[in-house]
Copies of this chain bind each other. A is one copy, B any other.
Amino acid sequence: MSVKIALDAMGGDHAPGEVVRGAILAAENLSDIEIILIGDEKVIKDELRKSSTKIPFEIIHTDTWIDMGEDPKQAIKEKPGASINLAARMVNDGYVDGIVSAGNTGATILAAASHIPVIDGIERTALATVYPTAKFEQTNRGFGLILDVGATLQCSPKQLVHFAFMGNFYLSEIFGFDRPRIGLLNIGEEETKGGETLKRTYQLLKKAEELNFIGNIEGKDIPKGIADVVVTEGFLGNVVLKMLEGVAEVVKETGKYAFHKRLSWKLALALLSPGIRKLRQRTDYSEYGGAPILGFKKLAIKAHGRSNAKAISNAIRVAAESSKQNICQKIEDSVGRFNLKHALEFADA
């Protein structure tokens, strides 16, 4: 049976062109998949005609969508027919198995929250992002997952533990990690570090036998890739993620500067280019298929705003794979067992 993915054709800096091209790329390379394009029918058809693809796409027409700069709360409310709202509603109606959007992040989270039910036993959803790490040791796969990075700014211990479960299944089922190393972001390794929330979270994670909890990790451990899954509340995760992006930008700008500054530096960068290419490949967000919003009964993937066709195609692949692997069901089962076992502790909280 094929998997159906709803794609917000109007979301993203390069929408609808690159988004539609991404859909074609995915449809031509993946089996058992149907992609529903949501957006302005005429514009989408024009984009489809530009390619030589023979694949027929179902198009759901709408003439409203949410731009990158719009206020998410207001836009989601005032534009019930916006492409991202339609996509999320199609999940709730059981028509599709997941959604992908490269559009406004807040709007994507809110649309999902408005229309897709949350997994039983889960209290809060989390936006997770894959980020590149230094690969100095064999056990490190070269990238990690950090969650939450902005869906739930403040979290209870129970919610943070749920994030650990969600990250665990995402990495193991989609990227084939064997027992992902789960780290709790804190200001020191000792279990007594941090405030009450983190101390209680640590104790709960220690008892989560299904997880490979490696303890607290510090800021320095993030780029080193000491953990595969970095668990943190949304406020901290958001600052950390944006800082990594900022550092990457600074490195890129410095490289550009060096390239133009001296002939000897130009030569040096040319000599380094195979290494730089390899590094760039590893740090290329388009490889990882976007940021999953975890905690809903079906997966919503927020692809990067700057997504090109390849990034969109990878996001579709991940959404389809998540559905095939029943990730949300696996999260529900594990979290359910955990909640039941610790029901008394949670009642105290």
**Which residues of A line the B interface, CB within 8 A?**
134, 136, 150, 153-154, 185-187, 194-195, 218-224, 234-236, 238-247, 249-251, 253-254, 257-258, 261, 264-265, 267-272, 275, 279
Contacts and interface: CB of A to CB of B under 8 A. Distances in A.
* Closest A-B pairs by Cβ, 10 of them: A220-B246, A219-B242, A219-B243, A268-B271, A268-B268, A219-B239, A134-B250, A187-B238, A220-B242, A223-B246
Nearest to A232: B239
A258 B243 contact: no
15 contacts: A136-B257, A154-B195, A185-B239, A187-B239, A218-B246, A219-B243, A220-B246, A220-B249, A223-B247, A223-B249, A243-B244, A247-B247, A254-B279, A268-B268, A268-B272
A154 B198 CA distance: 13
- Assembly stoichiometry (copies): 2
A229 B179 CA distance: 41
Contacts of A243: 219-220, 222-223, 240, 243-244
A250 B224 contact: yes
A242 B265 contact: no
Contacts of A269: 268
Contacts of A185: 239
Given A154-B195, A187-B235, A272-B268, A253 B220 contact: no
Contacts of A264: 271
A243 B220 CA distance: 4
Contacts of A245: 219-220
In this complex, the member of A249, A250, A265, A267 whose beta carbon has the largest number of chain B beta carbons within 10 angstroms is A250
A269 B235 CA distance: 38
Given A187-B239, A245-B220, A271 B267 contact: yes
Contacts of A246: 218-224
A197 to B, nearest CB: 11
Contacts of A194: 153, 235
Contacts of A279: 254
Given A236-B239, A244-B247, A265-B272, 15 more contacts: A134-B254, A150-B187, A187-B239, A195-B235, A218-B246, A219-B241, A219-B242, A219-B245, A221-B246, A223-B247, A224-B250, A240-B240, A254-B279, A265-B275, A268-B272
